[in-house]
Amino acid sequence: MIAMIVLAVIFAILAFWVLGIQKRLLNSRRRIKYAFSQMDIQFKRRYELIPNMVEVAKGYMSQERDALEAVIAALNEAVTANSMASFHPLLGIAILHLAAAEDRLTVSLGRMFAIVDACPDLQANPNMQRLSGELNDTENKISFARQAYNDCVLQYNESMQHFPGPVVANMFGFHTAELMQVAAFDSNASQQLAPA
């Protein structure tokens, strides 16, 4: 009888321990989703600003239509990838696809800003200055939100690496999450356009 009570107590302690680990993993996963939602807000703001900048630039950059079309194509790809990642912020392939799309958008924006730098009239345009300042501010917010997201992912992934984390993760279907790693936005051009 005592042996059964001891086994029951040991089983109960083990069950509470496993459920505690599961709860920590669930909370970590919720923090990742929240952190992604904060990053998503900034991405959407960025996606709203870029077409406006392209429209302003069109009037000044008639010779550089390819650069503007590349920005819009990269923007459309990033919007699609972000939409998929928004539904599944813990799905590694969605985050990797979003990171790649954001890289392509950053590169195309860099090319556009290089062309803008060569056009003094466009640099002096008040709309372009305002939009560039807003884009630079949004890029900074994206950077902070991305760091918060990555911090949550690291904490979540680390909790699954140390025993009994891997066992509990496998029992309840938890999988590691992907970091959001993208090329840094070269804000030098947009800072040059931002009003003083």
Per-residue pLDDT of the chain (196 residues; tens, 9 = 90+): 888 998 999 999 999 998 999 999 999 999 999 999 999 999 999 999 999 999 999 888 777 888 899 999 999 999 999 999 998 888 889 999 999 999 999 999 999 988 888 888 888 999 999 999 999 999 999 999 999 999 999 999 998 888 888 888 888 989 999 999 876 554 444 443 333 3
Enclosing domain of residue 189: 26-193
Q: Is 173 left (phi over 0), alpha (psi -120 to 50) or beta?
A: left
**Dihedral angle sign, alpha carbons of residues 130, 131, 134, 136:** negative
Whether 8 is covered by a domain: the verdict is no
**Dihedral angle sign, alpha carbons of residues 107, 111, 112, 117:** positive
Whether 30 is covered by a domain: the verdict is yes
Whether 188 is covered by a domain: the verdict is yes
Whether 113 is covered by a domain: the verdict is yes
Quote the DSSP letter at residue 194.
Answer: S
pTM of the predicted structure, to 2 decimals: 0.82
> Based on the structure, what is the number of domains in the chain?
1
Whether 109 is covered by a domain: the verdict is yes
- CATH number for 108: 1.20.1440.20
Whether 119 is covered by a domain: the verdict is yes
End-to-end CA distance of the chain: 81
Whether 13 is covered by a domain: the verdict is no
Whether 12 is covered by a domain: the verdict is no
User: What is the radius of gyration, based on Cα positions, of the chain?
Assistant: 23
